[in-house]
Structures are given as structure tokens and as C-alpha cells.
Amino acid sequence: MANLKVKVGELSLRNPVMPASGCFAIEYSEALDFNNLGALVIKSVSPKSRAGNPTPRVAETPSGMLNSIGIPSKGLAYYRSKVLPPYTQFDTPVVVSISADTVDEFAQAVAEMSLPEVAVIEANISCPNLEADGMAFAMDPETTYKAVSAIRRSTNHPFWAKLTPNASHVAAVAKAAEEAGADAIVMGNTVLGMSIDVRTRKPKLGNVMGGLSGPAIKPIALRMVHQCYRSVRIPIIGCGGICTAEDVVEFMLAGASAVQVGTASFVDPGIMQKIIDGLTAYCEEMGVQSIHELTGQVKLDRQLSDRWLRFAQQSG
Ligand SMILES: Cc1cc2nc3c(=O)[nH]c(=O)nc-3n(C[C@H](O)[C@H](O)[C@H](O)COP(=O)(O)O)c2cc1C
């Protein structure tokens, strides 16, 4: 039997498969045994109570979906007492995802959520920085550095920085997150997109633009995981369009130590178990004894890829 165990920094996971924040809820326990997943990543919470974005909040697109949910929140106290506890009854590390509007709000929220029952804090720095121009923190290495270093000072918990693919210099952003003290990088969130109803001539999302997810973004996310892998030494968790065990293997070969599955779980709530079973089958078929050996093992012509990488780092 293949060994599916992986490590993300100090944290050991029974396998590399975990849900992506916002694409998973406690009700999924009816379709999945949570004790079989690598980790449980909960929907982002923001410290301020908010209603979320105007409706409609989702729209289907070829090979993906657009969403502009907007992180509706009832605040941290409600989250601590009502949302978090059901996830802590499983023998699987719990990852709390936090979104915030400012650097200070991030630091305070992370400090407050650094609870013994929480294994990891994931900071969703793909959300808008309201102190600046509303661009996501992770669109820029400098704002990434500021946010991540403030978060680092506020917690001793393992902490992952979730980056956005809507950044032109993703390798530089990843480097800034590493230098500021992130324990790992999650690459990444949704790709900004838009869709218009040609009969009403109105945008299909109430918020006009939203995040594209699903198979449509997989090549983009995979490319960015590889750029990050070539840029940092901390572990990378790949995310974007993963639907099959083969997709997971691709992300691991590109440099991911683990992965997150988002939109695919809306199509099939049991998909993560199928992916885990598929990984066992792949390892057995290919004679892979420990899946962690796959990380970064894509075969490249080094000279060519170095040249390409320099170009990619300059041009984004
Ligand atoms: C409906 C929906 C809600 C999401 N909510 C969050 C969220 O609260 N926090 C977050 O960091 N990412 C959120 N995401 C982004 C996903 O976690 C993931 O990064 C993205 O969807 C790409 O992965 P996928 O293609 O497998 O879905 C959300 C995505 C969708 C589709």
C-alpha cells in the first residue's frame, strides 16, 4: 500500500488532499469521512460582521464558475462558538482561514483565532486591502510583506499565506511572504473574471466581477505553483481546478507538497475521497512508495527552464 503521508512544514498530514476554503462545509460529512482527509479548511471568517456581496453571487462559465460571495461573516465570537466546534471532533487538523480589511485587523484576528484546537491559520491575503487602493494584499510584494510580518508577530501557530493568481509577479510575492515569516504558501485563489447576459446586457454577477475557479484555471494555478516552487523554500499548497488524482500528481510534480480541492466538490461532494483513492492507485501503478517524493519532480531541461523562469519573473 502506497504511503500518502505528506508534511507541510512541521505539520504531518495523512494525505495531501484537503478542501479549499469556501468550497466545503460541515454538511459534507454526509458525503465524506472527514477522518480520511488531509486537513479540514473552513470558509474564511472576517472579524467584522458583514452581509456579503449583492446577488447573484455565482455564475456558471465553460469549465468553471464565477463567484463574488464576499465573505459574509457574523464575526469572530460567533465563529468560535458556533462554526469552529463541529470541525474539531475529527482526528484531522483544522485550518482556520481568515480574511481582513487591514493589516492590523488581520493581526488581531489571527491572534484571536490561534486556539489550541486550531492546527493552522490560513491568511487569505487575496482579499482587498482597504487601507490602500482596495487591491488584494497579495497583488504586491510590499503589501504582502507588511501583512504577513504583522500576522507572524501575532501568532506562534503555523500560518499559511494564501496568494492570488491576479498578481503580475507571483514569484516575488511568494518570496515576500516567505521572508516575512509565512510557514507555507497556498497558490492560489480565484482568477478575476466577468460574464455578461447578452439578453439583459447586465453582468451575470451582482458585483459585476468575480473569481473564476474550476478546471478553466488549472493551467494558470499549476504554472504559478511552479514559479513559487522555484522562488521559495517553504512548502506550497497547490489549488486551482483540481478534479482528479492526476491533477494532484501534476501539482505535486510542479512543486506542491499538498493540494486543496474547491469547485470540484460542488459538482461531486464525495470527490475528495475519489481523488485520495485515485492517488493510491496511481502510486501503486507507478511504483511510487511515498507520495511526498513527487514534490518538484517535474523533468525539465534546466537551462531552458531557468531562462523561461527569469522571463516569467520579469514579465509576470
Ligand atoms: C463559492 C466559492 C467561495 C469561496 N470562498 C473562499 C473563501 O472564503 N476564502 C478563500 O480563501 N477562498 C475562497 N474561495 C476560493 C477557493 O478556496 C479556491 O482558492 C478557488 O476556488 C480555486 O480552486 P478551485 O478551482 O479548486 O475551486 C472560494 C471559491 C468559491 C468557488
Q: What's the pLDDT at 239? A: 98
Q: What's the pLDDT at 4? A: 98
Q: What's the pLDDT at 313? A: 63
* Residue of 190, 195, 217, 261 with the most ligand 1 atoms within 8 Å of its CB, for mutation: 190
- Ligand 1 atom with minimal separation from the 239 CA: 23
**Which residues carry a binding-site annotation for substrate?**
43, 67-71, 124, 189-190
Domain range list for the chain: 6-315
Q: What's the pLDDT at 70? A: 86
- From CA 316, how far away is CA 309, in angstroms rounded? 10
127 is catalytic: yes
Q: What's the pLDDT at 314? A: 61
Q: What's the pLDDT at 119? A: 98
- Its CATH class, for the domain covering 6-315, is alpha beta
Cα(50) to centroid of ligand 1, in Å? Answer: 18
**Which residues carry a binding-site annotation for FMN?**
21, 43-44, 124, 162, 214, 240-241, 262-263
Instruction: Per-residue pLDDT tens, the chain, 316 aa: give them.
Output: 899 999 999 999 999 999 999 999 999 999 999 999 999 999 999 998 888 899 999 999 999 999 999 888 999 999 999 999 999 999 999 999 999 999 999 999 999 999 999 999 999 999 877 777 778 999 999 999 999 999 999 999 999 999 999 999 999 999 999 999 999 999 999 999 999 999 999 999 999 999 999 999 999 999 999 999 999 999 999 999 999 999 999 999 999 999 999 999 999 999 999 999 999 999 999 999 999 999 999 999 877 777 777 766 665 4
What the block records as the C-alpha cell of 31 is 458525503
| Predicted structure pTM score | 0.97
Q: What's the pLDDT at 22? A: 96
List pocket residues of ligand 1, CB cut-off 6 Å.
Answer: 20-23, 43-44, 65, 67, 69, 71, 97, 124, 162, 189-190, 213-214, 217, 239-242, 261-264
Cα(154) to centroid of ligand 1, in Å? Answer: 25
Atom 3 of ligand 1, residue of closest alpha carbon: 22
- Phi, psi (deg, nearest 5) at residue 56: -65, 145
